[in-house]
Amino acid sequence: MISAFVNRKPWATVTLALIIDPLIGMLFLGQGRKALFYVAVGIVLQAFPYVAAHYQVVDMEIDLMAGLGTLTIKTLGAIHCYSVSKKTQGQVPEVWFARWYWMISMVFIAPVFFAILIRTFLWEPFNIPSQSNLPTLKVGDHLFASKFTYGYSRYSLPLDMPLISRRILYNSPERGDMFVFKSPADGSTDFIKRLVGLPGDTVQIAGGILHINGKAIVRRRIEDYIDTDYRGNSRHTPRFNETLPNGVQYEILEAEGDTAHFDNTEMFTVPEDHFFAIGDNRDNSSDSRSFGFIPTKNLIGKMSSVYWNSVRKKIHFFE
């Protein structure tokens, strides 16, 4: 058995491809370019479920979709590795990456590399620990924010490494976006809020009603939001449908009517390269009403999807 691996026999290569990954199988055969191909396949494989769901290519649970994708690639990759192994007949080029210790390292390095690459440039996962964005986002929701929507800054990088001095590939957020950003207060805490004020806007809450540029935002009362407290008692909270000037609609909660602490604020004028954001749970949210404006450099990404919670386990994309 050991000699089969030493001599790079076809069945040994297939075993590595099926149990670990076709990438390892190609490294085992000294096929650098083909191994790079499977690096690209690994990146696409991790991104595919979210892209497919977004464009409604398939309607399937994310775990099942990812599992079927992995099984398909491993099967086709194993066949590919077998074919290459038969052609090379155990003759492997003298290359560094075909040595056993480099292959073992890749078993651990490749998944981390893929995850860092995707989290940095494509999507980053977050979870919701509070009720500040009810009813849109619930406690326990697991989310993806698209990093490429607004471009990249130091806060796009792992550990907020200061390798990018200014925002690059920048696209301005739109009013109504649910977006992730670093707190302007400490530059480290992640917040998820709804953007309502763009640079140059005036924003004010008066009698519980949101005003933008001096005009009251239209909202209408809809059915109460009902949830259950820790004792099992049902709670009814007034819920409204709110429509921004650009037509974006969403639901908000007003737990304490129009007399809560932040239901009557000063008038805020949003400075250049800054934004104003508030939570959809208007009486239970720490947001720009308390910590101020959000600098462009603090943007992380636009909230794109809920990929898991205790109720719905299919991907749900935000408009």
Catalytic residue among 34, 85, 132, 297: 132
Catalytic residue among 74, 193, 297, 302: 193
Average the pLDDT over 15-33 and give the result: 84
pTM above 0.85, yes or no: no
Is the predicted pLDDT of residue 310 greater than 90, yes or no?
A: no
* Peptide bond preceding 184 in cis form (omega within 30 of 0): no
Question: pLDDT tens digits, residue range 196-208?
Answer: 999 999 999 998 8
Instruction: Report the candidate in 16, 10, 17 with the shortest Cα–Cα distance to residue 75.
Output: 17
What are the structural domains of the chain? 2-121 (no CATH), 128-317 (2.10.109.10)
d(CA 173, CA 244): 14
Query: Residues 143, 137: contact at Cβ < 8 Å?
Result: yes
Query: Residues 180, 126: contact at Cβ < 8 Å?
Result: yes
Question: pLDDT tens digits, residue range 133-173?
Answer: 999 998 888 888 989 999 999 888 888 888 888 899 999 99
Examine the residue annotation and report whether 193 is marked as an active-site residue of this protein.
yes
Examine the residue annotation and report whether 105 is marked as an active-site residue of this protein.
no
| Highest mean pLDDT, choosing among 4-8, 42-46, 123-127 | 123-127
Query: Residues 38, 77: contact at Cβ < 8 Å?
Result: yes
